[in-house]
A and B are shown apart, each in its own frame.
Chain A
Amino acid sequence: AQSVTQLDSQVPVFEEAPVELRCNYSSSVSVYLFWYVQYPNQGLQLLLKYLSGSTLVKGINGFEAEFNKSQTSFHLRKPSVHISDTAEYFCAVSSNDYKLSFGAGTTVTVRA
């Protein structure tokens, strides 16, 4: 079984500042890792995913994440945020099956 811990429940950030959202997972097997974003009053959509290969993954809207196997982490970063990045962000993990386990989410609020 796997589990996901998102270390920050709320992240306030000023516009054009960088942001990092932390995610750690636990699993006894190889994993696939995902970040999903939920904008206000919308469904979840995929930001990026790591399946294999390069540990640095680039996603939509300028986000990227780095898979660190030794630290069992998959932190999400963006060098310069916009007001429109205000949303809830979910880290998720799956192993060699179909079931995604999600973290509790991190709410990012971008202020001008």
Chain B
Amino acid sequence: GAGVSQSPSNKVTEKGKDVELRCDPISGHTALYWYRQSLGQGLEFLIYFQGNSAPDKSGLPSDRFSAERTGGSVSTLTIQRTQQEDSAVYLCASSPGGTGGQLFFGEGSRLTVL
């Protein structure tokens, strides 16, 4: 498709389970971002990938969170041993790269941890 695609759109899981969220960026975009949007709060930066460079993981809230990007395209965000405070909308964005560039966002994956 033409836009950023995320799956699943909704995920309900039990506390302690692992979840994987997938992001398919716009073709040709070298930069990929994950943000977290919690109710009543802004977007919290999680991780950034740019080409073959080492990712910026400075926003990951704990070692239960990890992400990878295979072949410079699709990315997977993994949350291990989920907690209730992990409930949020996880947004993926891609960009052609470069400073000041526009981010193109997916519709997000809504995670609910019971």
Contact = CB atoms under 8 A, between A and B. Distances in A.
Contacts, number: 59
B91 A43 contact: yes
B106 A43 contact: yes
Given A42-B107, A99-B56, A105 B102 contact: no
Contact of A32 (B45, B100, B107): B100
A90 B42 contact: yes
Contacts of B31: 98
Nearest to A9: B40
A102 B43 CA distance: 6
A48 to B, nearest CB: 10
A49 B100 contact: yes
Interface string A98-112: 111111110000000
A44 B108 CA distance: 9
B65 interface: no
Interface in A3-48: 4, 6, 9, 32, 34, 36, 41-46
B4 A103 contact: no
B103 interface: yes
Interface in B87-114: 91, 93, 95, 97, 99-103, 105-108
